[in-house]
Amino acid sequence: MENVKFSGHDTVALAKKYGTPLYVMSEDIIRDRIESVKKAFEEASCDYEINFAGKAFTNVAMCKIVASENIALDAVSVGEMLTAMAAGFPMERVCYHGNNKKSSELKFAVENGVGLIVVDSEDELKKLTQVTAELNKDVKIMFRISPGVEAHTHELIQTGIQDTKFGLPFEQAKDIVVRANQLPHISVVGIHCHIGSQIVDEVPFIAAADKMIGLYQAIRNEGVDLRAINLGGGFGIPYLQGDEYFDTLKYIPKLVQHVKTMCAEKQVPMPKLIVEPGRFLVCEAGATLYTVGTVKTIPGVRKYISVDGGMNDNPRPALYGAEYEAVICNGKATEDMEEVRVSGRACETDTLIDKAVLNHPEVGDILMVRNTGAYNYSMASRYNRFPIPAVVLLSGDCSGIMVERESYQELLSHDRVPDWLK
């Protein structure tokens, strides 16, 4: 039987060439996803912008892909902004997010010409006012608003509810925005919300859009020339075969039409619509390759296989109870499918997949877990001092490293011994 392919590449050959654990990302799929979102907006004919949410997956090569696609980047830290700068990403297309930006970080953003700052709180506004006065520079801002909408997703990734650390409480937002617009150096160009991630139901998205349009109208009525509404990301993807599927590409024209109708009713100009997908653009473009290191059967209980990664490279099962599917990559003659628990090698019970159906797993097999392109590499940790795996980019027939595997030397490079221990 043939080896399993990913984005046209033999996964066993990739594992051999680059080692495991290994993240593989398909540039073809990423570009296809970006193009499809553009097309959905083009067909709906409206002024729009796509901000790739870098938190889902960022590095220098990824920023180059995003730059070449002519879309914008949502960055949440100086680290992400520096990554964009290293890629030559046009900083006027960067949108800087975060619920607790420090003055030094705001200064970095303003000095480096970041196009838009999404202000999350009144305290941040104060800091930004000081920074812009000090630098004598003007900035364009949006305010993040929490619309008080509940999205049906994991509690930890719901962000638009009333009881949240993110954004201005909806009821206070209008007054704050109107006041902010009178400040020197600050021009408020829009309002933003993001209600959560991995949402597979359009009802909360539309409910949030409705609240934001109402607020947009109320703020415009106060004489603030708002031009844009950013409705965030959150479009869910099917992690498992047969999973409930949210059709983002069908939803976008529906959303545009809905906003057009609402704006006509309210007699306000159609705003520029901004979306900020992260997961939708990269999740299905990624997979993780592991080597099976142990197989054990506990009679009458279950079979375990342990792979050479785990919660270090994919913390999502541990954090959110996220479910994944896996496949043995090296072609096997046997059709001896069995249910096993796939465990990682962190020193705790880091189950990656509770019930994986695999083709007679054996020591030395290469296992591929699909749909790991979002929030896996970007959330990887060095727990137990395991180095961060490499990321390989696949493009057509080519493969090349986009993030080098961390070496043990690098892992130790930050350690220092205080004088009294020398």
Left, alpha or beta for 163 (phi > 0: left; psi -120 to 50: alpha)?
beta
Position among 80, 120, 202, 276 found at the interface with ligand LLP (CB under 6 A): 276
DSSP string, 196-213: BSSB--HHHHHHHHHHHH
User: 362 is written with which tokens?
Assistant: 């054996």
> Is there binding between residue 279 and ligand LLP (CB under 6 A)?
yes
Distance CA 72, CA 93 (A): 5
Residues 6+ apart with CB under 8 A from 39: 249
Residues 275-310 as b/e (b if ≥16 CB within 10 A, e otherwise) read: bbbbbbbbbbbbbbbbbbeebeeeeeeeebbbbbbb
Position among 235, 239, 290, 386 found at the interface with ligand LLP (CB under 6 A): 235
Closest approach of ligand LLP to the CB of residue 234, in Å: 4
User: 249 is written with which tokens?
Assistant: 């590409």
**Nearer of residues 69 and 74 to ligand LLP, judged by Cβ:** 74
Question: Is there a catalytic annotation at residue 347?
Answer: yes
Position among 148, 160, 167, 233 found at the interface with ligand LLP (CB under 6 A): 233
Strand 351-359 and strand 139-146: the pairing is: unpaired
**Nearer of residues 305 and 311 to ligand LLP, judged by Cβ:** 311
For ligand LLP, which stretch binds (CB under 6 A), given 41-49, 105-113, 194-202, 402-410? 194-202
C-alpha torsion angle, residues 261, 265, 268, 274 (rounded to 10): -30
- What is the amino acid identity at position 82? L
Closest approach of ligand LLP to the CB of residue 2, in Å: 32
Number of residues that bind ligand LLP (CB under 6 A): 23
Distance CA 351, CA 369 (A): 13
Position among 197, 248, 291, 343 found at the interface with ligand LLP (CB under 6 A): 197
Closest approach of ligand LLP to the CB of residue 144, in Å: 7
Distance CA 287, CA 11 (A): 10
User: 334 is written with which tokens?
Assistant: 């046997």
Closest approach of ligand LLP to the CB of residue 158, in Å: 10
Closest approach of ligand LLP to the CB of residue 275, in Å: 8
Position among 148, 278, 317, 389 found at the interface with ligand LLP (CB under 6 A): 278
**Which of 183, 151, 174 is closest to 222 using CA atoms?**
174
> Is there binding between residue 232 and ligand LLP (CB under 6 A)?
yes
Q: What are phi and psi of 158, to 5 degrees?
A: -95, 125
**Nearer of residues 110 and 118 to ligand LLP, judged by Cβ:** 118
Of residues 320 through 359, those in contact with ligand LLP by CB under 6 A are 320
User: 134 is written with which tokens?
Assistant: 């000090």
Q: Which of 46, 95, 347, 398 is catalytic?
A: 347
Distance CA 255, CA 249 (A): 10
For ligand LLP, which stretch binds (CB under 6 A), given 11-19, 121-129, 332-340, 373-381? 373-381
Closest approach of ligand LLP to the CB of residue 60, in Å: 20
Of residues 152 through 171, those in contact with ligand LLP by CB under 6 A are 157
**Nearer of residues 75 and 213 to ligand LLP, judged by Cβ:** 75
Strand 337-343 and strand 326-328: the pairing is: unpaired
**Nearer of residues 62 and 374 to ligand LLP, judged by Cβ:** 374
- The answer to whether the CB of 24 falls within 8 A of the CB of 394 is yes
Closest approach of ligand LLP to the CB of residue 279, in Å: 4
Site string for ligand LLP, 106-145 (x = CB under 6 A): ----------------------------------------
**Nearer of residues 361 and 389 to ligand LLP, judged by Cβ:** 389
Distance CA 117, CA 303 (A): 51
**Nearer of residues 94 and 292 to ligand LLP, judged by Cβ:** 94
User: 293 is written with which tokens?
Assistant: 């290191």
**Nearer of residues 20 and 146 to ligand LLP, judged by Cβ:** 146
For ligand LLP, which stretch binds (CB under 6 A), given 33-41, 229-237, 240-248, 327-335? 229-237
Instruction: Tell me how far apart the terminal alpha carbons of the chain are, to the nearest angstrom.
Output: 58
> Is there binding between residue 316 and ligand LLP (CB under 6 A)?
yes
Of residues 33 through 92, those in contact with ligand LLP by CB under 6 A are 53, 55-56, 74
**Which of 328, 324, 311 is closest to 389 using CA atoms?**
311
Strand 351-359 and strand 337-343: the pairing is: antiparallel
Binding site for ligand LLP (CB under 6 A): 53, 55-56, 74, 97, 157, 194, 197-198, 232-235, 276-280, 316, 320, 374-375, 379
- Known catalytic residues are 347
